[in-house]
Amino acid sequence: MRGRIVGRRYPRGRPDRRGPRVQDDHADIVVPRCVGADLKSWAADYLGNPNEYWKWFGAFKDAHDKLREIGKPTVARINGIAVGGGNELQMACDLAVMVDDAFIRHVGLEHGSVPAGGATQWLPIFVGDRRAREIIMLSEEIPAAQAADWGLINRAVPSVELDAAVDEYVKKLAAKLPQTTRYAKQQLNFWRDLSWHETVNHARDWLSLSMLGDEAQEAVKAFLKRSSS
């Protein structure tokens, strides 16, 4: 493989709001950054507004699909905590490197949101059923080293070594045959795709309607009140 690398850290090929540049034949490796949702803006835009939430979830779903179907290797560069959707997006990537002083966490069950944008589907595949339930149902922090031990990420490294670790993966991936790599990725995606396509559209509709419910609205408003005090 030859060509440039796509990702926010690489200025010659940054993705725009629509996601990675799927048809960029000059880009071999995609390196996205993964973060979670801003609950303040999320509450203002979507609580009590299921139609807007449905549109937002559709864009989130499209980002997932592009990462899995881009036909190029993807390496998540996680330079900080990955909470909720941030962890779901890093799981959509092929490989993941995280700074060792950060953590992964899912807090949806405390905020009135089921993490069905990748977590309920893929955590059992990544870490097994019991650990998946522990991560989602207890909402506790999973330190980077533990996440690596469980197989949720590939490596946890000091922040000063993050770029070098990502570049190491990138160089190794770039040395592989592009068409063969693309098809290997397609085959490896089988279980992720199966669980995703069987559940995600149902989740999109249910979660949209849940924005009208008392549980979600009261939980998010209580969180924002605590955060501002």
Whether the per-residue pLDDT at 166 is higher than 70: the answer is yes
pLDDT of residue 223: 75
Mean predicted confidence (pLDDT) in 26-42: 63
Which two three-digit tokens encode residue 197? 């396509």
pLDDT above 90 as % of the chain: 68
pLDDT above 70 as % of the chain: 83
Q: Which residue bears the tokens 């440039």?
A: 4
pLDDT of residue 8: 39
Residue 209 vs residue 13, higher pLDDT: 209
Q: Which residues contact 38 (CB under 8 A, 6 or more apart)?
A: none
Mean predicted confidence (pLDDT) in 81-100: 95
Residue 25 vs residue 217, higher pLDDT: 217
pLDDT of residue 36: 52
Any idea what the CATH number is for the domain that residue 70 is in?
3.90.226.10
pLDDT of residue 219: 82
pLDDT band at 39 (very low <50, low <70, confident <90, very high): low
Mean of all residue pLDDT scores within the chain: 85
Whether the per-residue pLDDT at 145 is higher than 50: the answer is yes
183: containing domain: 4-228
pTM, 2 dp: 0.84
**Residue-by-residue DSSP string for 25-94:** TTEEEE--B-----HHHHHHHHTT-HHHHHHHHHHHHHHHHHHHHSSS-BEEEE-S-EETHHHHHHHTSS
Distance of CA 163 to the CA centre of its chain: 19
Q: How many domains does the chain have?
A: 1
pLDDT of residue 217: 83
pLDDT by residue (tens digit) across 108-136?
A: 999 888 999 999 999 999 999 999 999 99
Cα atoms in the 13 Å half-sphere on the side-chain side of 211:
22
